[in-house]
C-alpha cells in the first residue's frame, strides 16, 4: 500500500488507520480513509493493466529480453532473484592519465589540453605509454586503449600493446564493457 501512495497520503492513511484501530475515527475521517484506499487500489489496477498491455506487446512483437535490457541488467536481476550465485562484480577504475606531471581521470570527458596531444599521438601510431598514469594496471591500460580506439576509430599497434603488457583480447573485453 505504501508504494501506491505519496508521502502525504501515506502519513494521513497511517494516522487514520490508528484512529480506526482505537475506535476514535469520525465518519468524515472514515470516508477519507476509504477514498485513500480506493485511490491506491485504482493505481494498483492501472499499473496491473499497464503491465498486462506491455506483456501483450512483448508477446505480439516477439521482443526478446536482450532487446529490452543489457546483459548486465539481466545478470543483476538473476542474482537478485537467486537464479545465479551472487558474485562480486569486478570493478575497473576509470583510465588515469598524466600530462605535464598532472594526473587526470578519464571519467566522462577529458580536458582539451590533454585530449589533443593524446589523440594526436594515438592516431599517428605512436606509443601513448607516457600518458598512462598506471602502466602496471593492465585492466586500466586496456580500458584506456579501448576508449581511444572507440573515440578515434584508429587501432593501437600490437607492438605498443606489448609495451603496456596488454593483449588484444583484453582491449576487446574492455571495449565490450564500454558498450554495455
Q: What is the pLDDT of residues 161-176, one digit of tens each?
A: 888 888 899 889 888 8
Round the average pLDDT of the chain to a whole number and report it. 85
Q: Is 171 exposed, middle or buried (0-12, 13-18, 19+ CB in 10 A)?
A: buried
Q: Which of 39, 40, 36, 3 is nearest to 17 (CA)?
A: 36
pLDDT of residue 91: 63
| 59 vs 105, higher pLDDT | 59
> Are 133 and 103 in contact, with CB atoms under 8 Å apart?
yes
Beta strands in the chain (DSSP E): 96-99, 102-105
- Confidence band of 41 (pLDDT split at 50, 70, 90): very high
Nearest CA-CA partner of 123 in 107, 139, 104, 145: 145
The yes-or-no verdict on residue 6 having pLDDT over 70 is yes
Q: State yes or no: pLDDT of 153 exceeds 70.
A: yes
pLDDT 10s digits, 75-95: 888 888 877 776 665 566 778
pLDDT of residue 18: 92
Q: Output DSSP code: residue 107.
A: S
Position 77 scores a pLDDT of: 83
pLDDT greater than 90 at residue 42: yes
Banded pLDDT at 49 (limits 50, 70, 90): very high
Amino acid at each position: 500500500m505504501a508504494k501506491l501512495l505519496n508521502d502525504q497520503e501515506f502519513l494521513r492513511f497511517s494516522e487514520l488507520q490508528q484512529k480506526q484501530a482505537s475506535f476514535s475515527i469520525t465518519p468524515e475521517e472514515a470516508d477519507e480513509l476509504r477514498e485513500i484506499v480506493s485511490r491506491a487500489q485504482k493505481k494498483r489496477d492501472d499499473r496491473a493493466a499497464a503491465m498486462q498491455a506491455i506483456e501483450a506487446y512483448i508477446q505480439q512483437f516477439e521482443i526478446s529480453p536482450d532487446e529490452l535490457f543489457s546483459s548486465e541488467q539481466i545478470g543483476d536481476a538473476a542474482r537478485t532473484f537467486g537464479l545465479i550465485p551472487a558474485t562480486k562484480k569486478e570493478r575497473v577504475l576509470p583510465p588515469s592519465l598524466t600530462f605535464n606531471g598532472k594526473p587526470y581521470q578519464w571519467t566522462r570527458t577529458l580536458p582539451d589540453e590533454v585530449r589533443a596531444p593524446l589523440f594526436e599521438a594515438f592516431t599517428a601510431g605512436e606509443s601513448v605509454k607516457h600518458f598512462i598514469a598506471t602502466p602496471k594496471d593492465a585492466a586500466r591500460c586496456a580500458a584506456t586503449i579501448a576508449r581511444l580506439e572507440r573515440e578515434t576509430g584508429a587501432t593501437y599497434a600490437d607492438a605498443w600493446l606489448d609495451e603496456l603488457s596488454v593483449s588484444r583480447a583484453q582491449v576487446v573485453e574492455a571495449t565490450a564493457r564500454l558498450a554495455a
